[in-house]
Amino acid sequence: MNGKILSYTNIYNQWLSKGRTESAAIELTLQQVDALEEMAENDDLWERLLEISAKGRNQDAWLAADWPAGFDELILCVPLCKLVDWQCANCTIGRRQENNSCANDYSLFGFVGELVRIGDREGLKEHISKIQKMLRDERYIWNVHTCELEKLRS
């Protein structure tokens, strides 16, 4: 694989070494998302991601700890999940998506899995920019009903 998306253990240990802070969780999540973007941009890496994603997804609902043998979009947001001890309503992203878990297929990160599953490369690229925007700016929310990013009114 490309070595850019870090495994569960590696991303978790980086977050621990950066002091277990919210800013470190956001920074490392952005790092993971940026690595996914690189994969979506590269023909060979995109094909490999599709293969990995298809392999085992129906048998194992939570593949985040399996990367790079299996792909689960939750590998991208491990630091955020660990920051709030899996309490989604306390997460900066969870709060802004009606307290839904990122394991929800239509959550901000869950939608990544849906786009990869159907092989929508262009849709994934567009969605990645929405994830980056939401991680960088708390004025955005994710509408789980329309799968769209919305800006809160000031």
With 90 as the cut, is the pLDDT of residue 19 above it?
A: yes
Q: Decide if 40 contacts 121 (C-beta within 8 A).
A: yes
- From CA 152, how far away is CA 10, in angstroms rounded? 34
Residue with tokens 């998306």: 5
pTM attached to this predicted model: 0.91
Interval 17-25 mean pLDDT = 96
**pLDDT digits 0-9 by tens, 26-83:** 999 999 999 999 999 999 999 999 988 887 655 555 555 567 777 889 999 999 999 9
The DSSP H or E segment spanning 130 is helix 121-136
CA nearest neighbour of 42 among 127, 131, 121: 121
**pLDDT on residue 67:** 75
Residue type, 135: L
